[in-house]
Amino acid sequence: MKELLEIPDGLEPFVNDYRLHVFEVAWLSEEQISRMSSDFQVVARFFRDKRLGTNSVSEDETRIRHVDEVLKLLSAFTGDARYEEIMKSEDYEEVESMCEIMDRAVNKGKAIGRKEGWKKGRKEGRKEGIKIGARESAEKFFKNGVSYEIVRASIDALSDSELREIEAAALQAARSQ
């Protein structure tokens, strides 16, 4: 390692020459990962799964001893702040495995999806309700002989073609009676 450093004259004896073994975690085999006994086993499996596009880590019940550190590492290496958000949750102390971490991420996503779906559903429902009310009002106006121009000026939730269709149906119904 010393060859990578610029060591001032006279200080070389005080600098340790550490030997480093570098390997790509995401390319480790399952056999190599399973021989690990620390939290790094979970981290290595996570990155291997990311590389392979698989999701066995979400079923990994391996107990994590240093949850805080693992979550910070995953957040830093993936750029995904959701791992750090788990640390801020009220029941964070209960997290013990990647399975639980993934369950929380999935459940949070589901909750967000439900909330967005509910908002969208309400919005769509309002639009549909307004349209139904406008159709009913237009039908009543036309049945009572109100002119197209007045109905058009009163109801803007329907298109011209929709109003003409309702007007024609009302005239047809009036003739049938």
pLDDT tens by residue, 119-147: 999 999 999 999 999 999 999 999 998 99
The pTM of the full predicted model, rounded to 2 decimals, is 0.51
- 71 in Cβ contact with 88 (< 8 Å): no
Cα 130 to Cα 68: distance, rounded to the nearest angstrom: 51
Cα 9 to Cα 147: distance, rounded to the nearest angstrom: 100
Cα 148 to Cα 141: distance, rounded to the nearest angstrom: 9
Of 144, 152, 147, whose CA–CA distance to 173 is shortest? 144
Phi, psi of 80 (to 5 degrees): -105, 110
What's the pLDDT score for residue 91? 64
What's the pLDDT score for residue 166? 93
Of 41, 100, 52, 109, whose CA–CA distance to 80 is shortest? 109
What's the pLDDT score for residue 90? 66
- Which residues does residue 34 pair with via DSSP β-bridges, in sequence order? none
Region of residue 10 (phi > 0: left; psi between -120 and 50: alpha; otherwise: beta):
left
Those residues of the chain that have pLDDT short of 50 are none
Task: Note the helical H segments in the chain.
Answer: 30-34, 40-52, 67-78, 82-88, 98-143, 148-154, 160-176
CA distances (Å), origin 1, targets 22, 23, 24, 138, 146: 12, 16, 19, 84, 92
3-state secondary structure of 31: helix
